[in-house]
Structure 1
């Protein structure tokens, strides 16, 4: 393995470009869905990866970029509180990771097992995926969220379904590095179909400058927006731990001990906080990049430095951002039919893998109430206006799941487990 760390510079640069290529589809798709600037997302992904490397002393070969777990709350929070307040919530979500990192340093991992066991995380992740399913369907059919037709139904379906089919085929039948880029393949085919049907706005691409500063947005701190977004950070925090364990199993190193889970959580939190400060989406470790590390057997963390540099460089190409923003909604809608379902499947797999017994009344209550609160639109409070207090959706179901888990009897299986000592 040590030989991998002595790669010539040219190989590190090529490997870094390849890692960004693998991460690129999901990286830019998330801001396009939520209405954020993809160039800002590229910049904050690169910056976040560099900050993560500084905190972890460049020991972990991971790339940080846009987290799909935050799609639902960002879309809803933008509509209700505005972009600046939403970014304040994103910064607060980064503080959650930072707090967890300090808590792990002081207390070990046992408290995480108690606070966020699979019976809590599973249904919350399922809710994150399924809550957005209607939006994916509307986009695939060429409709706005309120049902307004933006692109003729038949044309939209002729665009969205080939995009979805391509994504499915590449994900299932792709070989080697191509299996890791199904989103890019789907976008390319969908965009080609959209261009054929004449629904691509090329005027904006032509008018955009070649080089331009990304449209950074300063945050504002609104306690309602913060309360709306922060609970969602708990699910990606568990995803982060799983990602660190996964890349450790690939490289043969225990990153939970060195550099330590507290450092990786702090690095992820710092990256997400920096993203919110500039108007970018929250960051998370990318499983696609871990897969590429496993496939190429290049474990050198320096390649992620180059991937970050390439991401930051692309952020300043104005025409590139205009090209991304010109992708019609049916292209994204077709791919999202798979992605949102995949997020829900991850939640179901969490329950299955940890053998959560739903015949037990305690577990059944937690999962059932969490799903209905998360997907059904239950509102607790006086409303969601500027002067009102209210919780709904993912924020509500995450808080309810945690509260039920802590209050209902039987939450003591986390005790006396290995790893409960400080890391």
Structure 2
């Protein structure tokens, strides 16, 4: 008698293709947001998300129903890195960040998963996550008000920009609060859509042109235009095109800057695997093992960086969709991955994404980067950390000031600073400062 497969077993079926595409739709807004914010190619991000998910499935033997895509934790270092070393140099650091996951997976194999919490407790990961969000706050405000990320030039008149950013932000918040069913899982995509439609309305009514004609840029460069949206990028883009892959070049400074940032998402990975296990009723920490899920995530991240894509991470939105639809079959994520890879070769999709006005992204970023900081705060709260204990106070204070203040050390051949330095210093302080009464 043929045994009926469990709902959580890998079972690849043609009829699940549309369900897989739906999973990609849930992840789509967040997936493309990272490359659009950081200057990376959105089509490459789609390809590496799909390929990374398939790599993860091979390493974890198709056990876990998760989708891997662009990680928000790396937005700040990527923006900084692209400005400092270009995309190719930044990719070298991101390849190394993925390799750190592989190193941690080996450590877990040897010492058990408890070692992660000993080396990287909430007192370190919490403030590092806070720094990642808070460092980006000025970028969010600049873009929401119509300027470039560094605030050096105007892209959209301020009044127009604030209207668009306000709509995008408001819709994102309202959908996350009031949305029902699958709709609740796509607040970012909803916000981007609302901001884009608002931009079209402002263009169609002539408001954009009137505001631009009356706009005074002051001392900043003025790159504003009468229309917010131009479809030239869409019309000139081919229907089918090879994604614009960028290969890494060696850059030790980028490695030392970016690798410590992987500390926080590595710990978050553990929580993500516990969460999807709770949703599906399987213990994925035991089978396929947290050491294998970490390795899969790391290899997927390094592979993405080898082609110029953002680092990958497990997507909680997709896990939410799994819970909502009761679709525990990991093969559905194979279909989501295949769909992402196919869309990566649609040139006009990349052209369309590039027409999204900057204030739309700025509005989303105001919430997103603040939310990252709040996640860091919540990490400390959930751990019951007493921040008034001298040891804890010292660790958190130094991480925050070093990271947000931009402290850097010139180590002769390389420069270590910002978030990377904050992460390294946090780990070292946690290891060397005596525990005292907190033991």
What is the TM-score when the length of structure 2 is the normalising length? 0.91
Residue 269 in structure 1 maps to residue 298 in structure 2: yes
Residue 75 in structure 1 maps to residue 53 in structure 2: no
Residue 33 in structure 1 maps to residue 37 in structure 2: yes
Say whether the 8 Å CA contact 2:252–2:414 is kept in structure 1: no
C-alpha deviation, 1:71, in angstroms: 0.5
Where in structure 2 are there 5+ consecutive unaligned residues? 204-226
Residue correspondences, number = 410
Distance 1:7 1:258, change over 3 A: closer
How many angstroms apart in 1 are the aligned matches of 2:86 and 2:12?
47
Aligned match of 1:410: 435
Aligned match of 1:110: 114
Helix, strand or coil for the counterpart of 2:153? Answer: coil
C-alpha deviation, 1:79, in angstroms: 1.1
Distance 1:17 1:412, change over 3 A: farther
Residue 390 in structure 1 maps to residue 395 in structure 2: no
Per-residue CA distance 1:243-302 (angstroms, 9 max, x = gap): 001000111111011000111011001100100110000000001111111111110000
Greater alpha carbon shift after TM alignment, 206-215 vs 388-397: 388-397
C-alpha deviation, 1:410, in angstroms: 1.0
C-alpha deviation, 1:146, in angstroms: 2.9
Aligned match of 2:309: 280
How many angstroms apart in 2 are the aligned matches of 1:138 and 1:412?
45
Aligned match of 1:159: 164
Greater alpha carbon shift after TM alignment, 176-185 vs 187-196: 187-196
C-alpha deviation, 1:34, in angstroms: 0.3
How many angstroms apart in 2 are the aligned matches of 1:412 and 1:215?
55
Aligned match of 1:418: none
How many angstroms apart in 2 are the aligned matches of 1:171 and 1:375?
28
Per-residue CA distance 1:295-338 (angstroms, 9 max, x = gap): 11110000000000000000000000010111111000001110
Say whether the 8 Å CA contact 2:134–2:373 is kept in structure 1: yes
C-alpha deviation, 1:195, in angstroms: 2.2
What is the TM-score when the length of structure 1 is the normalising length? 0.94
Identify which of 193, 205, 212 aligns with 2:198: 193
Distance 1:290 1:413, change over 3 A: farther
Aligned match of 1:340: 369
Helix, strand or coil for the counterpart of 1:2? Answer: coil
Say whether the 8 Å CA contact 1:405–1:411 is kept in structure 2: no
Aligned match of 1:360: 389
Aligned match of 1:419: none
Aligned match of 2:255: 226
Identify which of 55, 59, 64 aligns with 1:60: 64
Say whether the 8 Å CA contact 2:76–2:135 is kept in structure 1: yes
Which entry has the higher C-alpha Rg, 1 or 2?
2
How many angstroms apart in 2 are the aligned matches of 1:27 and 1:19?
12
C-alpha deviation, 1:359, in angstroms: 1.7
Identify which of 312, 318, 325 aligns with 1:289: 318
How many angstroms apart in 2 are the aligned matches of 1:350 and 1:127?
13
Helix, strand or coil for the counterpart of 1:65? Answer: strand
Distance 1:187 1:102, change over 3 A: same
How many angstroms apart in 1 are the aligned matches of 2:24 and 2:318?
8
Identify which of 82, 86, 89 aligns with 2:93: 89
Identify which of 37, 52, 55 aligns with 1:48: 52
C-alpha deviation, 1:8, in angstroms: 8.5
Say whether the 8 Å CA contact 2:10–2:331 is kept in structure 1: no
Identify which of 387, 401, 424 aligns with 1:399: 424
Distance 1:411 1:135, change over 3 A: farther
Where in structure 1 are there 5+ consecutive unaligned residues? 415-423
C-alpha deviation, 1:111, in angstroms: 2.0
CA RMSD of aligned residues (A): 1.6
Per-residue CA distance 1:211-239 (angstroms, 9 max, x = gap): 00000011111111111111001111011
C-alpha deviation, 1:389, in angstroms: 2.8
Helix, strand or coil for the counterpart of 2:301? Answer: helix
Say whether the 8 Å CA contact 1:97–1:265 is kept in structure 2: yes
Say whether the 8 Å CA contact 2:59–2:295 is kept in structure 1: yes
